[in-house]
Structure 1
Amino acid sequence: MLIRVEIPIDAPGIDALLKRAFKGDKEAELVRELREDGQLTLGLVATDDEGQVVGYVAFSPVTVEGEELQWVGLAPLAVDEAWRGQGIGRQLVYEGLDSLNEFGYAAVVALGDPAFYNHLGFEPAARYGLHCRWPGAEAAFQVHRLADDALNGVSGRVEYHTHFNRF
């Protein structure tokens, strides 16, 4: 298995994986739209020995109270069902965090299973007065600081790109 930055030839495999993993088209459409609009900060794939996409993670810009703070949102994250339980999701997230840190990003937010994200160094965003637009998501909304001072004096509503608003 290889984890690397996505390239254009990966798009059909990413699309197919997202449709399988999420049992529908929404996430695949979301990633396509983000990519087409230049709003995909980073996309990483995990490929098998034949080069087939078996895992994917995307990061895209977010704002806090309308301010651009060099923060990104992690979404979606998917691993092919046959490959789950091998740590691929964790590896994709770690690779993404390392790359984003090297690129100078300050923080990453994610909406997902707190147990999974806490093991990766994420913390409840509500602890810092941060929230997202989706009601009832407080427990699942997480933040990971990449810069030591990323959360200093920052609070309020975190907004993903408008493409996310249909969820």
Structure 2
Amino acid sequence: MIRIEIPVDAQGITALLRRAFNRDDEACLVHKLREDGLLTLGIVATDDDGGVIGYAAFSPVLIDGEDRQWVALAPLAVDQPFRGQGIGGQLLYTGLDTLNEFGYHGVVVLGSPDWYSRFGFRAAAELPLECRWPGSEVALQMFSLSDEALVGLSGQVEFAEHFNALS
């Protein structure tokens, strides 16, 4: 089942992120975003017993210092035994649909262009959009949720400060 996260999911999300990334960084990131009110949306995939097997987090970003109603997708994780079954795509589509319903204009992600392009993401450098991390030019991808989302859009994408703790 794919749905918006609820408070009881927090422990399962933390455990999934630790398993999926073999470290604590992403779990700590989500915890801090949630704690500071910067988790715009969390989408979970659960198994038949209600255990969390997939997760996608969305948090606000600024573009050239302005709130343009864009968010970042990070992290996105699917538990190893369930990979290759389309769960990541389902999490992504559910997140995009929900964000669209909430009136957001777009999503950015640092990730594989090969994987994200299958879902309609394109290189953010086309606009041009960039972020502060060196070497991210190819990995920074974007998805617009509305026609007006790209009008006059350019500059630096500023992720929440919490992302600076990721190694």
TM-score grouping bracket, smaller chain normalisation: over 0.9
The aligned amino acid for 2:129 is: L
Unaligned runs of 5+ in 2: none
1:51-130 matches, cutoff 5 A: 51-130=50-129
In structure 1, runs of 5+ residues without a counterpart are: none
Letter in 2 for 1:112: G
What is the match of residue 150 of structure 1? 149
Partner of 2:6: 7
Distance in 2 between the 1:143 and 1:6 partners? 23
What is the SS of the residue equivalent to 1:149?
helix
Letter in 2 for 1:28: A
SS in 2 for 1:91: helix
Query: Matches of residues 17-28 of structure 1 in structure 2 within 5 Å?
Result: 17-28=16-27
Deviation of residue 165 (structure 1)?
A: 1.1
Alpha-carbon distance in structure 1 between the residues aligned to 2:152 and 2:37: 29
Task: In structure 1, give the amino acid aligned to 2:120.
Answer: G
Q: Distance in 2 between matches of 1:166 and 1:29?
A: 9
The 4+ residue runs of structure 1 with deviation greater than 2 A are none
Paired-residue identity, %? 63
CA distance in 1, matches of 2:15, 2:112: 23
1:45 aligns with 2:36: no
Secondary structure of the corresponding residue to residue 150 of structure 1 = helix
Letter paired with 1:5: I
**Residue type of the alignment partner of 2:94:** E
- Deviation track 1:24-73 (CA, whole Å, cap 9, x = no partner) reads 00000000000011100000100000000000000000000110010000
TM-score by length of 2: 0.98
Question: Post-superposition shift, 1:94?
Answer: 0.3
Q: Residue 123 of structure 1: CA displacement?
A: 0.5
CA deviation digits over 1:117-156, x for unaligned, max 9?
0001100000111001111011110000001111111101
How many residues of Structure 1 are paired with residues of Structure 2 in the alignment?
Answer: 166
* 1:79-129 deviations in Å (ceiling 9; x for gaps): 000000000000000000000001100010011010110001100000111
CA distance in 1: counterparts of 2:136 and 2:144, whole angstroms? 19
**Partner amino acid for 2:93?**
Y
In structure 2, C-alpha distance between the alignment counterparts of 1:39 and 1:149, rounded to whole Å: 24
TM-score (ref. length: structure 1): 0.98
- Note the aligned Cα RMSD (angstroms): 0.5
State the AA in 2 paired with 1:154: L
